[in-house]
Amino acid sequence: MCEGCGRGSHMSSFSSAKDPAHGDSSMAKVVANLPFNISTDVVKQLLPMGDIFSEVSVICSVLCHPYNPFQEEAALRFVDSSLKSSDHRPINVFVNFYSDPEYKLKEPRSNFFPQPKVDAAVVAFKLKQPADYPNVSSLKSFFSRVNSAFNGKRKMLRKSLNHICPSTDIEAALSALNLPPTSRPEELTLENFVKLHNLIDRYVNKITIVD
């Protein structure tokens, strides 16, 4: 999973150019027609760039709503994944961390040439500003732990995260959040993951100091 994305000198220059100090505070918009096989990877790169882009648009552009085409089934998983569902995955946590996603409409395969084997869909990602991101002590460790939490089919968090700190500490952190010690990753909301990460950090730092 992408925790952020590297920015070349051209992006740094662009970011400076849009700064109010340079006389232009407007946000940029990305417009692209993305192949199905790279849509997810491109979205992972663009969603953390809410300080530069207000929209990532494909097919049509609506103010403050970035768009990208996906296979319809994948699009539904992005925005409709319910807790306690096998479709709830790390990408759902990532997408909601950086944006507010919304399923917009179905695009029949007949609208494309050459015609693909599946229908497409339009998903709207309203990018969050960095100041509005959930408060985590480290983006890198947060997304690393989210990925670890989902490793292994239907593993309890006290098992999938016990390489970070003892299972008893994981259970204590879950209890502090009023979650059962047998909690599984698909049962946690984004807010739950953020709070769990920060609590585990306290345990890890305490262990480090003692050692």
Nearest alpha carbon to residue 158 among 182, 189, 142, 193: 182
Look at residues 124, 127, 126, 122 and name the one whose alpha carbon lies nearest to residue 59.
122
Print the SS3 string covering 34-100.
CCHHHHHHHHHHHCCCCCCEEEEECCCCECCECEEEEEHHHHHHHHHCCCCCCCCCHHHHHHHHHEE
Q: Which of 153, 160, 188 is nearest to 174 (CA)?
A: 188
Residue 131, pLDDT above cutoff 70:
yes
152 three-class SS:
coil
Which residue(s) pair with 105 in the sheet?
122
pTM: 0.78
Whether the CB-CB separation of 92 and 106 falls below 8 Å is answered with no
Provide the mean pLDDT of the chain. Answer: 77
Q: Is the pLDDT of residue 208 over 60?
A: no
**Does the annotation list 33 as a binding residue?**
yes
Domains in the chain, CATH or no CATH each: 9-132 (3.40.50.150), 139-210 (1.10.8.100)
- pLDDT digits 0-9 by tens, 162-198: 999 999 999 999 999 999 999 999 999 999 999 999 9
Is 1 labelled as part of a ligand binding site? yes
Confidence of residue 144 (pLDDT cuts 50, 70, 90): very high
Which candidate, 195, 5, 201, 202, places its Cα nearest to that of 98?
A: 5
Strand, coil or helix: 114: coil
Which SS3 state, helix, strand or coil, does residue 197 take? Answer: helix
